[in-house]
Amino acid sequence: MKKANELKQIVQDKYAEIVTQEKSCCGDDCCSTDESASSLKEQYENLDGYLAEADYSLGCGVPTKLAEIKETDTVLDLGSGAGNDVFIVRRLVGETGKVIGVDFTPQMIERANINKEKLAYDNVEFKLGDIESLPIDNNSIDVVISNCVLNLVPDKQKAFNEIYRVLKPGAHFCVSDIVNNGQIPEGLKESAEAYAGCISGAIAKDAYVSLIKNAGFTNIEIKQSNKTNLPDEILSKYMTQAEIIEYRRSDDGIFSITISGYKN
């Protein structure tokens, strides 16, 4: 098993490459299958504040739609990349709110700031930082969002503890992420990670919810859940045709979820 620092370096290198080589993540290294990536892109393109240059198709949901963000809110986006969700949130919080994006890949921060300059926003800020140790003050954030990032964090408990720390009392988070549900063959998980890169690091849904509870959150709600439909050529390496049919009918598998929780 790779150490935490090794895992972080692998993720950082991958996302630096996406920026420097101008890769749009729509192929085998994506967080989603081609079909779901296409659907997400369509949803994003219809949102106010969408900037094509900031969208590398790295998400597995649209947390901004379900986060109940209000005008004047201070919102924090974890793993903000080139600013895709940040700019959409900026349209929701208006001139009197604030949006902060944190990412640990310097190339992503640089690209996000270039995009910010194009939009001339003065209440948007991008910070270089680690989700396990956020460069954000205690009790300062109204809403935390994240899109297909926390599953890549080695110490997810630290991440949710940090989310709890920076939120104001009574405030909430709403994140989209990847989880496993039910019995999944180890070989299938490994192939799924190769097919859809952001599936790496995904843990069982129940374990994921337990981490959130352990951090102190209440009113935890899974707002959306979509099964990642891996192609038959991947499944057929580990299952018979009959098992594939049963697998597709079952609740077992890899899911993208959007989940929220509140700080007391």
Please check whether residue 188 lies inside any domain of the structure. no
What is the domain range of residue 11? 4-181+196-228+251-262
- Please count the CA atoms within 13 angstroms of the CA of 228 that sit on its side-chain side: 33
Task: Quote the strand ranges of the chain, DSSP E.
Answer: 74-78, 98-103, 124-128, 141-147, 167-181, 203-204, 218-227, 253-262
Task: Quote the strand ranges of 46-129, DSSP E.
Answer: 74-78, 98-103, 124-128
Minimal CA–CA distance to 28: which of 193, 189, 195?
Answer: 195
Whole-prediction pTM = 0.88
Please check whether residue 79 lies inside any domain of the structure. yes
The per-residue pLDDT for 172 is 98
Number of domains in the chain: 1
Encode pLDDT of 116-140 as tens digits.
999 999 999 999 999 999 999 999 9
Please check whether residue 170 lies inside any domain of the structure. yes
237 vs 140, residue with greater confidence: 140
Minimal CA–CA distance to 40: which of 65, 69, 14, 20?
Answer: 65
Model confidence at 251: pLDDT above 60: yes
Please check whether residue 244 lies inside any domain of the structure. no
Structure tokens at 129: 């930082």
Q: What is the CATH number of the domain that holds 85?
A: 3.40.50.150
The per-residue pLDDT for 198 is 66
Please check whether residue 176 lies inside any domain of the structure. yes
Please check whether residue 243 lies inside any domain of the structure. no
pLDDT-based confidence at residue 33 (cuts at 50, 70, 90)? very low
Mean pLDDT, the chain, as a whole number? 87
